[in-house]
Amino acid sequence: MPLYPSVDLHMHTTYSDGLDTPTALVAKASELGVWNLAITDHDTVDGLPEGIEAGQRYGVQVMSGIELTVQFEDYRDIHILGYDFDPADAAFAACIQRMQEARLERGLEILRRVNRMLGEVGKAPIDEQRVLARAQGAVARPHLAQELVEQGCVETFQEAFQDYLVPCDVPKATLSPQDAFRMVAEAGGICSLAHPGTLSSDPVEIERLLTTFGRMGLAGVEAYHHCHQPSFIDFLCQCARQLNLIVTGGSDYHGRPQGAVLGFLDVNKPVPESVWTELMAARTP
Ligand SMILES: [Zn+2]
Ligand SMILES: [Zn+2]
């Protein structure tokens, strides 16, 4: 296996929790010789047009991607990677829009509850416009915690959560795996289960989840991820063959100085090229 990377199917930009803009990400990839990549921001496709346009300029093939968070049984945080879909598909775009609206509405409802609590103890409310500006429209609890600290209502993030954000919490809107598989399939794409090692280290449980999701429409499994040990990667590849799933992989790059390295799973371990060829072979014509 070559020691230089050429593909990466799991990367984040400033459109979710990454630090590089899509253009900066594609520029870095081309410098490294990563000619095939997928941008997979959390629950949004807003960075794709910029990424695809940059890809054309830098000669990098940028595939549409997304990392959706779904809930199943007691699992609250399952990540599903969607690939090679049409981000402009009307039903897909509407679904993403609804999810974004639900997240914003949740953030604002928590803000209203926090302000009610602050009012009860005679403290000044948090300014909604300031929070919206800080959060660039996607208000989440860390933004509110930051405001509470800056206003001097609490001293630390931890206190902000303990005293205000936990008591004022509003449940998240949920998406099922079936919903995710369906919306990606209807937009012409396929799905892979991201980093299964974060769900369980028990092979029996992983096999059960992959079998169940496979029946629901899952097409692949992300065996190659920095959180998996080599023996766990082998196990996932074996599972994939048995269950007729493709094997995907990527760095889960976020652009953080101490974090995952673009194109690599570990030192001297590039993401294998096979993940791109398998995905290309599996895509719907
Ligand atoms: Zn993830
Ligand atoms: Zn990710």
Q: How far is the CA of 147 from the centre of ligand 1 (A)?
A: 27
Say which residues have a Cβ less than 8 Å from residue 39's Cβ, sequence separation at least 6: 11, 12, 13, 22, 25, 47, 48, 51, 62, 63, 64, 65
Phi, psi (rounded to 5 degrees) for 102:
-65, -40
How do residues 232-264 score in pLDDT, each as one tens digit? 999 999 999 999 999 999 999 999 888 899 999
Q: How far is the CA of 268 from the centre of ligand 2 (A)?
A: 21
Q: How far is the CA of 41 from the centre of ligand 2 (A)?
A: 7
DSSP state of 261: P
Residue 64 pLDDT exceeds 80: yes
Angle, vertex CA 124, rays to CA 101 and CA 102, nearest 5: 10
DSSP state of 62: E
Q: How far is the CA of 226 from the centre of ligand 1 (A)?
A: 11
Give the separation between CA 140 and CA 106, rounded to whole angstroms.
8
Q: Which ligand is nearest to the CA of 195?
A: 1
Average pLDDT in the chain: 94
Q: Is the dihedral of CA 161, 197, 139, 27 positive or negative?
A: positive
Q: How far is the CA of 118 from the centre of ligand 2 (A)?
A: 36
- Domains of the chain, residue spans: 7-89+187-282, 101-165
7-89+187-282, superfamily in CATH? Metal-dependent hydrolases (3.20.20.140)
Q: How far is the CA of 251 from the centre of ligand 2 (A)?
A: 8
pLDDT at 141: 87
Average pLDDT over residues 41-62: 96
Give the separation between CA 139 and CA 171, rounded to whole angstroms.
14
Phi, psi (rounded to 5 degrees) for 255:
80, 10
pLDDT at 2: 60
Cα–Cα distances in Å, from 167 out to 101, 122, 127, 172? 22, 18, 19, 15
